[in-house]
C-alpha cells in the first residue's frame, strides 16, 4: 500500500509539473503570435490543420509528457488545445480526426530554421522572466559533452567516428556545448560540431561561437577545461566578464608573475600585468629593433615579420619551460647568476646559460669526429624539460 501511495504521489507531482509547463508554454506561444513569430495562417492551403506552429507545439508536448505516443498527443490537442488550430471549415465544425497519420507526416515537414528560431526565443523569454543576480548582469555557465550517434552513413560523414589502432570505429561522435543561464536554468541552443575528422572543433572554438550569441555585458563561468587564454580573450572581445576555474598547474604558472593585492580567510586576489606589454618592450631591448633606418615600407614590414616570428618562438620556449617547472617537484630553478632561484625563467636566461656551449668537428682521412661541450646539471635539466635528449644534444 505504501508503494502504491508513493507511486500515486509521484504521478500526481509529474502531472502537476506537466500542467504548469504546458501553461507556461501556452503563454509563451501567445507572445510569439503577437510578435508574428508563429503565424498559424502561414500554410500552402487553407485545408491544412497541422501547421508548423501546431506541429511544433505537439512535438514539445510529447517531450514534456515523458514521451507521449502520437495518439495521446492528438487526444490532448483535441481535448485541451483546440484553439491552437487554424481557422477552417473542419475546425469550426469540430470534424478533426484523431488519426495520427497526418500529424506524423507534418512532423517531417517542419523546417529546421523555424524550430531553431522558436527555441531561441523561448530561451530568451524564460531568461528575461528571471531578474539578473549580479550587478544587473546575467550569469551563464559554459559546459560541454560528447554523444555517440547511430552508425548511419550520413552521420558518419557529418560526425566522423573516433580512430583507433585498427583504423576507424563505426560510431559517429559529436561534441555539444551550451550556455546555461544561472538564474532561470535555461539552456541556449547547443553548439554541435564533429569531434574528429577534418572539420572537427575544439572546446575553445565552440566557446567562441557561443559567446557571440550571449546577451551583451554578461558574466561567463566555466570549469578548468575552459580556463585558457583563448576562451578568456573571446570573452573579453565579446564584452563579457568571466570567472574561470583553473587547473593547479595553470594557476601555479600564472601566480609566479602575479602580485598578491588582497587576502581573506578563504580567498586570495592576485593582479598580473598583461604580457603583451612585456613582449613589446622586448622588441626594443632584447632584439634592438628600434630605431629603424629602413625607408621602404615593404622592407620594414618584412623585417618586423621576421622579428615577430623570433618573438613567437621565444614566447613558446618560455611557455614550455614554465609549464615544465609548474608540473615538476620544484618551485624554482637556479638560473640567475650565482645560482640564485628563478620562479619565471625566460628565453633570454636560457640563451645566456647555454652561451658557453661549443661544437667542433675534425675531418681527415675520410673520417669526421664531433666534440661538444659537456652539459652542466642545470643545462641537462633544461634540455630534459624541453623534451630533448642530453645525449643527442649538439650531435
Residue ranges covered by each domain of the chain: 2-114, 133-245
pLDDT at residue 117, as a whole number: 82
Angstrom distances, CA of residue 391 to CA of 84, 143, 172, 333, 376: 79, 45, 44, 22, 12
Q: What band does 9 get if pLDDT is binned at 50, 70 and 90?
A: very low
Phi, psi of 201 (to 5 degrees): -130, 140
Q: What is the 3-state composition of the chain as percent helix, strand, coil, each rounded to the nearest 5?
A: 45, 20, 35
Q: What element of type H or E holds 148? A: strand 139-148
All residues at 6 or more sequence positions from 4 whose CB lies less than 8 Å from its CB, including other chains = none
All residues at 6 or more sequence positions from 42 whose CB lies less than 8 Å from its CB, including other chains = 51, 52
pLDDT at residue 5, as a whole number: 43
Mean pLDDT of 357-374: 83
Lowest mean pLDDT among 254-268, 349-363, 369-383: 254-268
pLDDT at residue 181, as a whole number: 86
Mean pLDDT of 63-87: 78
pTM: 0.56
pLDDT at residue 12, as a whole number: 46
Who wins on pLDDT, 10 or 148?
Answer: 148
pLDDT at residue 16, as a whole number: 64
Which CATH code for domain 133-245?
3.30.420.10
For 100-110, the pLDDT digits (tens) are 888 888 888 88
Q: Of 374, 301, 386, which Cα lies nearest the Cα of 350?
A: 386
Q: Of 218, 210, 229, which Cα lies nearest the Cα of 274?
A: 229
Above 90 in pLDDT, residue 270? no
Q: Kindly report the average pLDDT of the chain as a whole number.
A: 79
Amino acid at each position: 500500500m505504501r508503494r502504491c501511495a508513493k507511486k500515486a504521489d509521484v504521478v500526481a507531482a509529474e502531472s502537476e509539473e506537466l500542467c504548469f509547463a504546458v501553461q507556461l508554454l501556452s503563454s509563451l506561444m501567445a507572445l510569439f503570435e503577437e510578435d508574428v513569430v508563429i503565424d498559424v495562417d502561414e500554410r500552402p492551403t487553407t485545408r491544412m490543420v497541422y501547421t508548423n506552429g501546431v506541429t511544433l507545439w505537439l512535438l514539445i508536448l510529447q517531450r514534456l509528457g515523458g514521451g507521449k505516443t502520437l495518439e495521446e498527443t492528438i487526444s490532448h490537442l483535441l481535448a485541451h488545445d483546440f484553439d491552437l488550430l487554424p481557422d477552417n471549415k473542419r475546425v469550426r465544425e469540430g470534424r478533426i480526426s484523431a488519426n495520427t497519420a497526418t500529424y506524423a507526416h507534418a512532423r517531417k515537414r517542419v523546417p529546421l530554421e523555424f524550430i531553431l528560431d522558436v527555441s531561441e526565443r523561448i530561451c530568451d523569454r524564460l531568461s528575461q522572466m528571471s531578474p539578473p543576480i549580479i550587478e544587473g548582469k546575467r550569469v551563464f555557465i559554459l559546459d560541454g559533452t560528447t554523444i555517440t550517434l547511430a552508425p548511419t552513413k550520413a552521420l558518419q560523414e557529418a560526425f566522423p567516428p573516433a580512430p583507433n589502432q585498427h583504423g576507424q570505429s563505426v560510431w559517429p561522435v559529436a561534441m555539444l556545448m551550451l550556455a546555461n543561464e544561472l538564474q532561470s536554468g535555461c539552456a541556449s541552443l547547443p553548439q554541435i560540431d564533429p569531434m574528429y575528422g577534418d572539420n572537427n572543433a575544439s572546446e575553445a572554438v565552440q566557446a567562441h561561437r557561443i559567446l557571440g550569441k550571449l546577451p551583451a555585458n554578461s558574466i561567463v563561468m566555466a570549469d578548468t577545461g575552459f580556463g585558457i587564454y583563448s576562451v578568456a580573450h573571446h570573452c573579453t572581445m565579446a564584452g563579457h566578464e568571466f570567472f574561470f576555474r583553473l587547473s593547479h598547474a595553470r594557476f601555479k604558472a600564472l601566480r609566479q608573475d602575479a602580485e598578491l593585492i588582497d587576502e581573506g580567510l578563504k580567498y586570495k586576489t592576485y593582479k598580473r600585468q598583461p604580457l603583451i606589454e612585456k613582449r613589446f618592450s622586448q622588441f626594443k631591448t632584447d632584439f634592438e629593433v628600434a630605431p629603424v633606418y629602413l625607408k621602404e615600407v615593404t622592407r620594414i614590414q618584412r623585417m618586423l615579420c621576421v622579428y615577430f616570428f623570433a618573438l613567437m618562438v621565444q614566447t613558446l620556449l618560455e611557455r614550455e619551460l614554465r609549464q615544465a617547472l609548474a608540473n615538476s617537484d620544484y618551485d624554482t630553478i637556479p638560473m640567475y647568476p650565482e645560482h640564485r632561484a628563478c620562479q619565471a625563467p625566460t628565453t633570454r636566461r636560457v640563451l645566456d646559460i647555454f652561451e658557453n656551449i661549443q661544437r667542433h668537428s675534425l675531418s681527415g682521412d675520410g673520417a669526421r669526429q664531433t666534440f661538444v661541450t659537456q652539459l652542466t646539471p642545470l643545462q641537462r635539466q633544461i634540455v630534459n624539460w624541453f623534451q630533448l635528449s642530453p645525449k643527442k644534444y649538439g650531435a
